[in-house]
Structure 1
Amino acid sequence: MISQLGQRLLQAMMLLLCMSMVGFALLHLLPGDFAEILLMSQMDGTLPDAATVARFSASQGFDAPLPIQYLRWLGALLHGDLGTSFITGEPVLADITVRIGRSISLAIFSMITALLIALPIGFLCAYRSGGCLDRLFVMLSVVGMSIPNFWYALLLSLLFSLTLGWLPSFGHTTLAHAVLPTLVIATSISGILVRYIRSSLLDEASQDYVRTAKAKGLGSLRIFFKHVTPNILPATLTLAGLQLARIFDGMIIVETLFAWPGLGSLLVEALLNRDYPLIQACFLVIASSYILINLAIDYVITIYDPRVRDIL
Structure 2
Amino acid sequence: MARQLSLRLLSACFLLLVISLAGFALLRLLPGDFAEVLLMSQMDGTLPDPETVARFSAENGFDRPLPMQYLAWLGGVLSGDLGTSFVTGEPVVDDIALRLGASAQLAMTALLLGLALALPVGALCAAFPGGWLDRALAGLAVIGMSIPNFWYALLLALLFSLVLGWLPSGGYGTPAHMVLPALVIATSITGVLARYVRGCLLEELSQPYVRTARAKGLSGARVLLSHAAPNVFPAVLTLTGLQFARIFDGMIIVETLFGWPGIGRLMVEALLARDYPLIQATFLVVASGYVLVNLAVDYIIALYDPRTRGVV
TM range (shorter): over 0.9
Identity %: 67
1:106 aligns with 2:97: no
Cα 1:145/1:44, change in 2 over 3 Å: closer
Alignment of 1:2-81 (within 5 A): 2-31=2-31, 33-40=33-40, 46-81=46-81
* Superposed displacement of residue 249, structure 1: 1.8
Contact 2:122 2:195 in 1 (8 A): yes
Q: Deviations over 1:255-298 (max 9, x none)?
A: 11111111001111111111111111101111111110110000
Q: Which amino acid aligns with 1:132?
A: W
Cα 1:25/1:216, change in 2 over 3 Å: same
Distance 1:236 1:43 in 2: 50
1:95 aligns with 2:95: yes
Match of 1:222? 222
Q: Unaligned stretches of 5+ in structure 1?
A: none
Distance 1:23 1:41 in 2: 19
Contact 1:41 1:87 in 2 (8 A): no
* Superposed displacement of residue 99, structure 1: 0.5
Cα 1:187/1:259, change in 2 over 3 Å: same
Alignment of 1:161-172 (within 5 A): 161-172=161-172
Distance 2:14 2:136 in 1: 46
Match of 2:276? 276
* Superposed displacement of residue 220, structure 1: 2.0
Match of 2:48, SS? coil
Alignment of 1:134-149 (within 5 A): 134-149=134-149
Distance 1:184 1:12 in 2: 30
Distance 2:43 2:283 in 1: 28
Match of 2:192? 192
Contact 1:37 1:274 in 2 (8 A): no
Q: TM-score, normalised by structure 2?
A: 0.95
Cα 1:187/1:77, change in 2 over 3 Å: same
Distance 1:308 1:61 in 2: 47
Q: Unaligned stretches of 5+ in structure 2?
A: none
Contact 2:106 2:178 in 1 (8 A): yes
Distance 2:172 2:154 in 1: 17
Distance 1:302 1:237 in 2: 11
Match of 1:131? 131
- Which consecutive segments of 4 or more residues in structure 1 shift more than 3 A? 31-47
Contact 1:245 1:289 in 2 (8 A): no
Q: Which amino acid aligns with 1:66?
A: L
Q: Which amino acid aligns with 1:278?
A: L
Distance 1:39 1:226 in 2: 63
Q: Deviations over 1:147-194 (max 9, x none)?
A: 010111111111111221211111112211111110100001111111
Distance 1:265 1:158 in 2: 21
* Superposed displacement of residue 35, structure 1: 3.2
How many residues get paired?
Answer: 312
Distance 2:221 2:16 in 1: 45
Match of 1:246? 246
Q: Which amino acid aligns with 1:56?
A: F
1:298 aligns with 2:298: yes
Contact 2:38 2:276 in 1 (8 A): no
Q: Which amino acid aligns with 1:246?
A: R
Q: TM-score, normalised by structure 1?
A: 0.95
Distance 1:248 1:5 in 2: 26
Distance 2:204 2:88 in 1: 56
Q: Deviations over 1:186-232 (max 9, x none)?
A: 00111111111111111110112212222233322221111111111
CA RMSD of aligned residues (A): 1.6
Distance 1:96 1:33 in 2: 27
Q: Which amino acid aligns with 1:239?
A: L
* Superposed displacement of residue 43, structure 1: 5.5
Match of 1:166, SS? coil
Match of 1:172, SS? coil
Contact 2:41 2:274 in 1 (8 A): no
Match of 1:239, SS? helix
Q: Which amino acid aligns with 1:230?
A: P
